[in-house]
Chains A and B, each alone.
Chain A
Amino acid sequence: MKNSKVTRVNRWGYIFLIPFFLTYVIFQVIPLCSTIYNSLFENYRSGLKQIGPNFVGFANFAKLLGTIDVWNYFENTLFMWIGGFIPQIVVSLLLAYWFSDPSLRLKFQQFFKTVIYMPNLIMASAFAMLFFTLFADQGPINSILISMGILKEPFKFFASVTASRVIVMFMNFLMWFGNTTILLLAGMLGIDSALYEAAEVDGATSSQVFFRITLPILRPILLYVLVTSLIGGLQMYDVPQILTNGKGDPAKSTLTVIMYLNQHLTSKNFGMGGALSVIMFFITGVLSIVIFNLNKRKD
């Protein structure tokens, strides 16, 4: 009697899961299957003529990976991700270490955390538009640099490969270092203070404590930050898309993989777009498994 009531109550578990799974299947699983299906067909527009859809097997993949373009765009994406990630992790580790160091007793911590996290919530496309106007040939940055006597004439930031890429890297850094600081800080505050006290008794310097105690204990969280950042980095789109008006100028040096995917989607080249999507799905899938195992270990 009691047993049957318990099962009846537990039936609600299924009912409450319906909205999530129904929505997920319709808007994610079906599109995923359709994307994979489309990747096996030749299907694009050439001028006014529609080519396909013709079944071509894995020819789209061969064609895609056979050109140098896609490899260049992967390289651009990873290069700009690394350029933002390295300063991000260094600065975040330093700030989180200071925030968590009881001997420093830093004041205004809430204020600093609030400010450094703020760029993460800013609309990336608006932020990129802002940087585009600020660094424009006649923009305020050039105006300030000239009035300070650093430059004689406006520097064309968006005509220089290095400057364009550095601006993208810098924006990625600015948007994410606050978030990473707060994640690392939570990890550092979780470290048993007895370890620090023991180190102090042994006369360890603060840099010894940092490298010998804090860093090794933080390793799982650092790995989590690294992999989630890499997944996010591979999706890099809004900032370079707006900065360069979708072109990835100069000379396609800031064109990312997702910008390339977007070009295929807007030009309705569904075969190539599909193939690129499937490749990205597998890469992020493998990285997700790493995260999944990390999360499971924490539980």
Chain B
Amino acid sequence: MEENRKVSKGIPVRTRRVISYIVLIFFTLLCLIWFYILLINSTRSHAEMTKGFTPIPSTHLIDNWMNLVHGTLPIFNGFINSFIVAGGAAVLASYFSAMTAYAIHAYEFKGKAAASAFILAVMMVPTQVTALGFIKLINRMKLDDTLIPLIVPAIAAPITYFYLKQYMEANLPMSLVEAARIDGANEFRTFNSIVLPIMRPAMSVQLIFAFVGSWNNYFTPALILHTDVKKTLPVLIAQLRGADWLRFDMGQIYIMIAASIFPVVIVYLIMSKFIVGGISSGAVKG
């Protein structure tokens, strides 16, 4: 009887464990192999690559980088521009989203429920559907071909707000705020000196998400930026694709892709513990 039940329980645990490790290793390799090829090819010269692929790195990493920096694409400006845009957008998004979340969390006022519902409702509206009006507005504001329209709109970041508000509900006791009020601190100072430090763990995760989102953004910058030296990295990559790329030095193409991808990968690997935890914290309560 006991034996029968064991059999009917299906595949034994050890076999299932082996299968799951094999599948997991397969998907791990499937995720990593592209970056491995990218890394290898970044170190090889154009001449070496035309002879076919080898899995062993070569010695031309620095040469490729130097050729890229001294080439026709203003890659150095691209880096600076991408850093300004992504850094600016990330700081604005996390600071002002915390402020918005605090307004909804800590105060009672008329229209609060409507305001909160509005932000949730517009959370999924994609920026592409308003892009036409956005370009026209930016033209009228004489901000076309500048970085400002890529940074300032980040103040209104509904998704960042949503995550920060979830965190605030769980981690910001109102008694702390009340204590500051009794001490006579004004509300703005309370927010900056008491609320923000408590929010720091969630804000740093959201800072990274906002940075990465803006760093990777291609659609809007491609419509706003026209002068080469003002372009961000994704726009320059698109330009590389649009050029007669067969005549391009492949070493330069690989090193440019690597240089656009690896800063984010390195930051991610350092912070991965917090980031992987942060993905599900807002979307799924449990």
Contact = CB atoms under 8 A, between A and B. Distances in A.
A245 to B, nearest CB: 5
B219 A123 contact: no
B223 A265 contact: yes
B279 interface: yes
A104 B96 contact: no
A261 B121 contact: no
B122 A133 contact: no
B118 to A, nearest CB: 8
Given A125-B234, A261-B131, A178 B31 contact: yes
A134 B24 CA distance: 24
B20 interface: yes
Contacts of B257: 126, 129-130, 133
A260 to B, nearest CB: 11
B130 A31 contact: yes
Interface string A33-44: 111001000000
A199 B77 CA distance: 61
A191 to B, nearest CB: 9
A206 B10 contact: yes
Contact of A130 (B34, B191, B280): B34
A273 interface: yes
B128 A126 contact: no
Interface string B238-252: 101110000000100
Interface in B153-202: 153, 155-156, 161, 181, 187-188, 191
Nearest to A185: B280
Interface string A111-143: 011111111011111110111111000101001
Interface in A72-127: 91, 94-95, 98, 103-106, 110, 112-119, 121-127
Interface residues of B, number: 100
> Considering residues B17, B32, B103, B216, which has the most beta carbons from chain A within 10 angstroms of its beta carbon?
B103
A7 B233 CA distance: 49
B130 A121 contact: no
A96 to B, nearest CB: 11
A11 B106 CA distance: 11
A14 B276 contact: no
Contacts of B47: none
Nearest to A281: B129
B273 interface: yes
B269 A114 contact: yes
Contacts of B188: 12
Contacts of B13: 103-104
B240 to A, nearest CB: 7
Given A187-B286, A281-B125, A292-B123, 19 more contacts: A9-B181, A13-B106, A19-B100, A20-B96, A30-B137, A35-B129, A104-B13, A115-B31, A123-B216, A129-B237, A130-B38, A130-B261, A143-B53, A146-B52, A179-B279, A185-B280, A206-B9, A258-B219, A261-B131
